Amino acid sequence: MDEYGECGTVFTDRAKLADFIGARSTFTAVYRPGDQLDRYEARFDWFCRVAWALGELTLVVDELADVTGPNRAPSIWKTITRKGKHERLACFAASQRPAEVDKTFLGNCTFIHCGRLNDEAAVLTMKKVLGVTSEEIVGLRDLEFIERNMVTGAVRRGTLKFPVT
């Protein structure tokens, strides 16, 4: 959807992104892999290898289900989700289809936030992960959420609020 442009310098070209990163000790960049979904997995693998090599960064992946599945993910992504914290990699990922993301990622999350879902498989996945009922998830309205701290087990409910501009 070409979002997150306000979060950093936007790149669609991997070589230009690599040059940009290499020239800076600190940076904020947005990588957009293009419109060819069949190339996403290879580009995601590259992106993860760069993040792992750099360490000490915040990695945000939108639409994780585009590049992983319940039983498949690039090995470097599995490494990031299992060992990234030790390399000071903070990982955030989002998906409209949580039933379609890799289970290693879900199993290693510290914090999980869930908004309204329509798909039965997604509801069942999040029911298990959050420890709540299907009805609670299905009953969420736009901008309402349920989130769970996976370390403490604390569950919180609320409504997202955005500043008025």
Specify the CATH class of 1-109 in words: alpha beta
Determine the average pLDDT of the residues in 121-131. 94
pLDDT bin (cut points 50, 70, 90) of residue 6 is confident
What residues form DSSP beta bridges with 146? 114, 157
Determine the average pLDDT of the residues in 33-38. 88
Strands 144-149 and 155-159: antiparallel
pLDDT over 80 (residue 52)? yes
Strands 144-149 and 89-93: unpaired
| pTM: predicted TM-score of the whole model, two decimal places | 0.84
Residue 15 and residue 11: Cα distance in Å, rounded? Answer: 9
Determine the average pLDDT of the residues in 132-147. 95
Q: Which tens digits make up the pLDDT trace of 84-112?
A: 988 899 999 999 889 999 988 988 999 99
Domain segments of the chain as ranges: 1-109, 112-165
Question: What is the structure's pLDDT at 1?
Answer: 67
Determine the average pLDDT of the residues in 137-162. 95
Q: Which amino acid is at 28?
A: T
